[in-house]
Amino acid sequence: DQQVKQNSPSLSVQEGRISILNCDYTNSMFDYFLWYKKYPAEGPTFLISISSIKDKNEDGRFTVFLNKSAKHLSLHIVPSQPGDSAVYFCAAPLTGNQFYFGTGTSLTVIP
């Protein structure tokens, strides 16, 4: 049972344009969400997070939006840069140490 879903396995965007990566979740108990970025042959690195008391969190070029009623969050990258090309995972922790991850979206930013 996949509680965090990323339905787009890949996304291509032109350099300078906006990248929007989507994530849906099913468990209404989730109250904190994270985005991780992963380059090939490296482990995932933390990118940005959002608490359910907010609907937006911004960090430089990266903004995460949370729509609790739709159980949906999205990561916006603007402007997109070639170095942003990576796999992006959304994740949510539950009780204890259980982090649930999506399957990832592979972003390619075309120069």
Partner 1 sequence: ETGVTQTPRHLVMGMTNKKSLKCEQHLGHNAMYWYKQSAKKPLELMFVYNFKEQTENNSVPSRFSPECPNSSHLFLHLHTLQPEDSALYLCASSQEGVSRNEKLFFGSGTQLSVL
* Site for partner 1, rule CB under 8 A: 2, 4, 9, 31-32, 34, 36, 41-46, 49, 51, 89, 91, 93, 96-104
CB of 16 to partner 1, least distance (A): 29
CB of 111 to partner 1, least distance (A): 26
Q: Give the side-chain half-sphere CA count within 13 A for 61.
A: 12
Bridging pattern class, strands 99-101 and 86-93: antiparallel
Which of 66, 89 has the CB closer to partner 1? 89
Which of 42, 83 has the CB closer to partner 1? 42
CB of 17 to partner 1, least distance (A): 26
**Tokens 């907010």 appear where?**
54
Residue 100's CB is within 10 A of a number of other CB atoms, namely 18
Pair of tokens at residue 41 = 């042959």
